[in-house]
Structure 1
Amino acid sequence: MPGPHAKSRNADRRWARAMCAVGVALVLAVAAPATTAWARAQSGSAAASADAASGLGYVAMGSSFAAGPGIPPAQAGSKAAACARSAGNYASIVARETGADLTDVSCSGATTANVLTDGQSGQPPQVQAVTAATRVVTVTIGGNDVDYLGSVNAYSCQTGGGTNCGSVDRNAIDQTFPSLAGRIESVVDAVHSAAPQAQVYLVSYFTLLPDAGVCADVPLTDGQAAFERGIASRLADATATAASATGATLVDLAAAGHGHDACAESPWVETYRPAAGRSAYHPNEAGMAAAASLVESALKSHGQVGTAVFRSGITGKCLDVRNSGTAGGTQVQLYACNGTDAQRWTWVPGAGGTLRALGGCLDVSAGGSANGTTVRLRQCNGSGAQR
């Protein structure tokens, strides 16, 4: 049976053949993989390599903190509209930057029951989107089970002088928490049952409130703020417990979000009084970009995304972003191997993903297929020209 290096060479040949189809005379070999996890991924089954040929199978599930309501542009289609899904949510960003094949079934208002058993907005339970070919699943869920957004909005309305604010049933919230970790564990178990080879990433909720005090556009009393911080802490703990119990990977967005709350100078979430069209206390563009970065780091830790240098068959030459440029259209060239970031490419092991460096993706100009078509660095967009 061939070892991982042989499989790596086979992957390199496939990539080189694809590049030659657009007139790039390179015979490339992967050098200096960043982690041993990448090497382990390369030694996976032939079936896994076949699945990767059309991009990493990725299903995104969860509630509004995954869907991204109010962040433009919205995803196309009536189903996406019913769930207020954004094309700028963290799953969409990850898919564009890695070339993954994304099925996004996240839906605003979803509970763990909507993931597992109960349809929502005319759509089936979210877990039904997971198939045997799925390799990555991200989940942000549990907040609606314990009325996290509902309670903080109701309190803000009450304290901010609103009307018809609704009430907060603290007793019901407290009674639900003991079962919450188990509910999230059931979600992970259901994914593993449908897709035994999938890695599940539990993405915790954004941090909404500062560690102490509030601000004018977060109208809460001290007691209300303390209760909401308690919900946030218990929700993060339940997510971490479920990850530990099931072998899922915790993407600790809750911890990363401290200092990026609704009152912060660089917030990742909106205030109670956001701009028109935005959703109160929900993630903004900066928050979704940060969440996507955390998810991609987790993918790297599991070898589902790797970093490597691509060497030409011409001795001493590497695939290089000219002058380390980051502007769209920057030339990609062969250049003397020098170990700089301009020659370190993030990629998905196997066929079907992107090659990304300096924040951009290797792109076939105008999606051309004629001999001599150039390749350049452009903003990642998920198109076939960047696979």
Structure 2
Amino acid sequence: MRSWAVRLVPLAVLPALVAALAGCQSARKADPDATPSRKPVVAGDRYVALGDSYTSAPAVGEPTGPPACQQTDRNYPHLLAEALDLDLVDVSCGGAKTPNMTTQPQVAGTDRLPPQVEAVTEDTALVTISIGANNGSVYGNLVIRCAQLALADPDGAPCSDLAQQNDDVLPTVFDGVVEGIVETVDAVLERAPDARVVVVGYPQIFPAEGTCPELPLAEGDYPFGRGVIEAFVQAQARAATESGAEYVDVWAATEGHDICADEPWIAGFEPAKAATPYHPYAEEQEAVAGLLEDLVARQG
């Protein structure tokens, strides 16, 4: 089991950090000559999907692509392509980080995969990007390492307590997510100047209040986990603004459907239906596909 790859930011710091990410005015202005297209996507257009396991959607449908990437044919790229009759190239891969979008090959099982942006060609009309939470191995540590710590202190806040000792690294991870997504959008536009580029945010995973057996963290660590994911979401939104890309707010659309909800769209420790632990159910992927369809089928 991996230990924390990054030091955690204190819980007390997270609200200010999220607010800063949300309200930050970019020092980098989108280049008017490299601004993504807002033209409606039409049948037959080439669509390239970039992302991690929240895009590949492991176990939600039949496997496609490299086995270790865990792409399935009912993930939101496939659903969107089916709805709009698009020519889909899905290069999303579980475990991907922002460097795997542009510069760093990803080793997935026995496969060594090129940077995902290499799938973008000049005739590409649409690119979606959803990435960030694997940077620093943060997400895996939230749902695995924090659960381990909870075994010894179920009523406390061991992850948050650990975070109190270190407050400088996770903000750097979030800044790296912003930079990585902006670089990805820039790289897409270098390859496909007329492409429509959409950054897709993460859903609500941790509950706003309460606890549940499906998410076996210490009681006091639930707000910490939610705050970390919200900070990733704000980093994604900020990157979209800085790069001139469009943004799909999946966080807002999944309110009331976190792991602990009565109707969860994210699987917990023991999935109740087709999914892998701590990853989307089909309902979440269908919701994202619907949001994207509404956006890209019209003028931006």
What TM-score comes out, normalization by structure 2 length? Answer: 0.76
- Inter-CA distance 217–90: structure 2 relative to 1 (3 Å threshold): same
- 5+ unaligned residues in a row in structure 1: which ranges? 1-39, 43-47, 162-166, 304-387
Letter aligned with residue 56 of structure 2: A
Aligned to 1:149: 140
- Tell me the residue number matched to 1:207: 204
Q: Is the 8 A contact 1:69 1:278 kept in 2?
A: yes
Q: Which residue of the partner structure matches residue 232 of structure 1?
A: 229
How far does residue 300 in structure 1 lie from its aligned partner after superposition? 2.7
* 2:115 pairs with one of 119, 125, 138: 125
The CA RMSD over aligned residues, in Å, is 2.3
> How big is the shift at 1:234?
0.9
Residue 60, structure 1, aligned to residue 57, structure 2: no
Residues 276, 55 of structure 1: CA spacing in aligned structure 2 closer, same or farther, 3 A cutoff? closer
Shift of 1:135: 0.7
**Larger RCO, structures 1/2 (Cα 8 Å, 6+ apart):** 2
CA distance in structure 2 between the partners assigned to 1:220 and 1:176 by the alignment: 22
Could you tell me how far 1:275 is from its partner in structure 2? Answer: 4.5
- Counterparts of 1:248 and 1:276, CA distance in 2: 34
Match of 2:80 in 1: 94
In structure 2, the residue matched to 1:73 is 62
2:93 counterpart residue number: 107
Map 1:129-140; keep pairs closer than 5 Å.
129-140=119-130
CA offset digits 1:81-100 (Å, max 9, x no partner): 12010111000000111110
**Alpha-carbon deviation of 1:160?**
5.3
Counterpart code for 1:180: V
1:237-289 CA-to-partner distances (Å, cap 9, x unmatched) read 11111111111111000121110101112211101222487311100111110
Instruction: Using the TM superposition, give the Cα deviation of residue 302 of structure 1 relative to its aligned residue in structure 2, in angstroms.
Output: 2.7
The aligned counterpart of 1:258 is 255
Query: Does the CA-based 8 Å contact 2:61-2:75 persist in structure 1?
Result: no
Structure 2: which 5+ runs fail to align? 1-37, 153-158
Take 1:145 and 1:111, find their aligned partners in 2: how far apart are those partners? 5
User: 1:337 maps to what in 2?
Assistant: none
For residue 265 of structure 1, give the secondary structure of its aligned residue in structure 2. Answer: coil
Aligned length: 247
The 1:41/1:64 distance shift into structure 2, 3 A limit, reads closer
Q: How far, CA to CA, are the matches of 1:130 and 1:41 in structure 2?
A: 17
Q: For residue 135 of structure 1, give the secondary structure of its aligned residue in structure 2.
A: strand
* C-alpha contact 2:207 2:259 (8 A) present in aligned 1: yes
**Preserved contact between residue 207 and residue 222 of structure 2 (Cα < 8 Å):** no
Looking at structure 1, the residues matched to 244 and 276 of structure 2 have their Cα atoms a distance apart, in angstroms, of 33
CA displacement at 1:156 relative to structure 2: 2.4
Question: Letter of the aligned partner of 1:60 in structure 2?
Answer: A
2:297 alignment partner in structure 1: 300
Offset from partner CA, 1:131-188 (integer Å, 9 cap, x none) = 1000100111011114123322321243258xxxxx9985443432233212211111
Q: Which moved more, 1:271-280 or 1:144-153?
A: 271-280
Per-residue CA deviations over 1:283-308 (Å, capped at 9, x if unaligned) read 011111011001111113436xxxxx
- Percent pairwise identity: 36
Q: Deviations over 1:192-241 (max 9, x none)?
A: 11111001110001210111122121112233212211111111111111
Judge conservation of contact 1:92–1:102 (CA < 8 Å) in 2. Answer: yes
| Structure 1 segments of 4+ aligned residues over 6 angstroms from their partners | none
2:17 maps to which residue?
none
> Aligned partners of 2:252 and 2:144: how far apart in 1?
22
> Which runs of structure 2 are paired with 1:215-230 in the superposition (5 Å)?
215-230=212-227
| C-alpha distance in structure 1 between counterparts of 2:151 and 2:299, whole Å | 45
Matched position secondary structure for 2:206: coil
Bigger radius of gyration among the two: 1
Pair 1:280-2:277 in alignment: yes
